[in-house]
Amino acid sequence: MAPRSIWNGTISLGTIAVPIKVHSATESKTVRFKQVHEPDGSRIEHKRVAHDGEEVPYDDIVKGYEVSEGEYVVLEKEEVDAAAGERSRLLDIEEFVDATEIDPVVFDRTYYLGSRDADDAYRLLHDALEKSDRAGIGRWVFHNREYLVSIRALDGVIGMHTMVFHDELVAVKDLEIPSPQRKPKKQELDMAGKLVESLQARFDPEKFEDTYRERLLEYIEAKLKGKVEALPPREPSQDPDDLMAALEASVSGRS
């Protein structure tokens, strides 16, 4: 069964309307664990309780915004949805930019936009994006949140990337990152350049697999069958005392 769309709406581009449906472009493969009571192996249940310890029915739970400690402004679902205004079913495109100008640090998630009822308008927008190599920048409201988004031609369809707003980025100056104490020597820089060149390749995502997940699943399967071997001791990481020697060893290992 094909994955269902997660949102149906319309791309608004001036006086042009392009009906679309949004599909997730990724799916998590993360190994997920449940909390289990070790003595009897039963699953731990989490319940919604009030301050008096009584379990609260789901229908009695509303959204509250904390304005001060212990004081909340309660909003009904309709009031929260109303904040989206006309954007509740619109994906507003406000401008087009050179796609290479967007720093990847702002990207969040990727989606595919499928055509819904108006193939001509959809194909026109897709081909215009592909020909110009530009990305459309707009806003999208989804799950009670407004996203900054970019749309572009992607694998024969229109792709959409959600992006963080500029004030959601953590400034490097706010982090406790020590500054380098010395500039690298020319010989070190030349050797590092050779290492980079020796590892140069054309990016192919199919070359990379989640080896941690594979090993974890293999261990789970072995433990299920009672065939678990002793875990190897973890080797402590060591920082090389001689940076130049480490660079030379890395380069010679690639040759």
Which residues touch 13 (CB under 8 Å, ≥6 apart)? Answer: 93, 125, 136
Residue 167 has a pLDDT of 94
Give the residue numbers spanning the domain of 251.
183-201+244-255
User: Does a structural domain hold residue 13?
Assistant: yes
Residues 156 and 252 in one domain: no
Residues 15 and 98 in one domain: yes
Beta strands in the chain (DSSP E): 7-13, 16-24, 36-37, 42-43, 63-68, 71-75, 90-98, 107-115, 134-141, 146-154, 157-163
| DSSP state, residue 169 | S
Residues 143 and 255 in one domain: no
Residues 142 and 194 in one domain: no
Q: Which parts of the chain sit beneath pLDDT 50?
A: none
Residue 185 has a pLDDT of 86
Residues 106 and 162 in one domain: yes
**pLDDT tens column, 154-203:** 989 999 999 999 999 998 888 888 887 788 888 889 888 888 888 889 98
Q: Is 124 helix (H, G, I), strand (E, B) or coil?
A: helix
Residue 241 has a pLDDT of 65
Residues 13 and 104 in one domain: yes
Structural domain count, the chain:
2
Retrieve residue 196's tokens: 């980079």
Q: Is 67 exposed, middle or buried (0-12, 13-18, 19+ CB in 10 A)?
A: exposed
Q: Is 65 exposed, middle or buried (0-12, 13-18, 19+ CB in 10 A)?
A: exposed
Residues 134 and 254 in one domain: no
User: Does a structural domain hold residue 173?
Assistant: no
Q: Which of 177, 136, 142 lies closest to 160, judged by CA?
A: 136
| Distance separating alpha carbons of residues 150 and 113, to the nearest angstrom | 12
8 in the Ramachandran plot: left (φ > 0), alpha (ψ -120 to 50) or beta? beta
Residue 234 has a pLDDT of 73
| Distance separating alpha carbons of residues 104 and 90, to the nearest angstrom | 25
Q: Is 137 helix (H, G, I), strand (E, B) or coil?
A: strand
Residues 192 and 88 in one domain: no
User: Does a structural domain hold residue 18?
Assistant: yes
| 136 neighbors 78 (Cβ within 8 angstroms) | no
| Distance separating alpha carbons of residues 22 and 104, to the nearest angstrom | 21
User: Does a structural domain hold residue 55?
Assistant: no
- Which residue, of 168, 192, 227, is where some domain finishes? 168
